[in-house]
Structure 1
């Protein structure tokens, strides 16, 4: 299972208004597709800059009403897996997990940082150098063959924690590590005065969406992110 949670305004891409959709060739259109036709909610063709030669990928913002004192979270890891708390020494390990988790996934089409290990290293540095960075909510999962899971978060206005990435490398998926990362984050926030946790996820990532729902997250906003030009068929 790929957990593709994204709430990053520091990765070049901006959020575009809801309802912006772009016509794609028939081979890219399916009944359940996340490639979208060139109509907005009112049925009119539109794009943020008056151009029709752009494509957008649908994402959801999801939120969880949260009080760290309401319940006790007990993260569980499979045998031979272990937690690693945040230190600067593991910054590159987080970056490597992010790259391995996302470089072949849908999010790679909208976030250029995921394309290279260097881009993920820069992304991780930008996250942890922010004044709003929350070290207590940043965790790495270690497996016998190396780091395999990563989660990070920053504080926002309104007592809100914004999860940045939830990544599990392909060979370690379907073991409950994504859920464990989220629970570990939640269990580490007792000293914070929070009332909300938020994240973003690609609409195509149904497994992640279901996991977030099971943990109490709900969809609060529909977002369209512009697809990078080299992913758009001519």
Structure 2
């Protein structure tokens, strides 16, 4: 049986309700609030994409932001979500590659994200995409709930693609 088909599109404020529902479905009590997602979707420094199945169902989304850290432009991933019904068909990887290309187009030299130390699928995805786990962030998600900071130099991927 063939994998279901999906497409990547820009996400925006009009998608807020659906994106927030998926954020809650994926992250539960750790989900970003609707107000935070609204801010991110309307911030001119944010970049957001959604994955939509051929039947119109929201399958996933990603939100990142252009930031200046130490005088260099970096892309920070704030959230990536894939509906459990549509996992393991390449949606997260497609969303990451799309936002990476957008960050590169904006002149970002690096992508930064945080990921829970026990989120094995995400850790494997980021490693497969060339991210390096640079430090442990103790209690990042609350007492006893640690994260890794992960970074990827974009210059490496841009050079490889030429």
Choose the corresponding residue for 2:108, options 194, 197, 205: 194
Counterparts of 1:87-126 in structure 2, within 5 Å, are: 87-103=12-28, 108=29, 111=30, 114=31, 120-126=33-39
| 1:206 corresponds to | 120
Higher CA-based Rg: 1
The CA RMSD measured in Å over matched residues stands at: 2.2
Choose the corresponding residue for 2:50, options 111, 124, 140: 140
| Superposed displacement of residue 190, structure 1 | 4.6
CA distance in 2, matches of 1:219, 1:226: 17
CA distance in 1, matches of 2:141, 2:107: 34
| 1:156 corresponds to | 67
| 1:42 corresponds to | none
The SS at the match of 1:221 is: strand
Choose the corresponding residue for 2:40, options 127, 130, 155: 127
The aligned length equals 137
CA distance in 1, matches of 2:107, 2:20: 28
* Maintained 8 Å contact 1:132/1:155: yes
Choose the corresponding residue for 1:83, options 8, 27, 46: 8
* Unmatched runs of 5 consecutive residues or more in structure 2: 144-162
Gap change, CA 1:220 and 1:93, over 3 Å in 2? same
The SS at the match of 2:33 is: helix
Gap change, CA 1:199 and 1:226, over 3 Å in 2? closer
Gap change, CA 1:154 and 1:93, over 3 Å in 2? same
Gap change, CA 1:131 and 1:142, over 3 Å in 2? closer
Query: Which structure: greater helix fraction?
Result: 2
* Maintained 8 Å contact 2:23/2:81: yes
TM-score by length of 2: 0.74
Query: Which structure: greater strand fraction?
Result: 2
| Superposed displacement of residue 222, structure 1 | 0.8
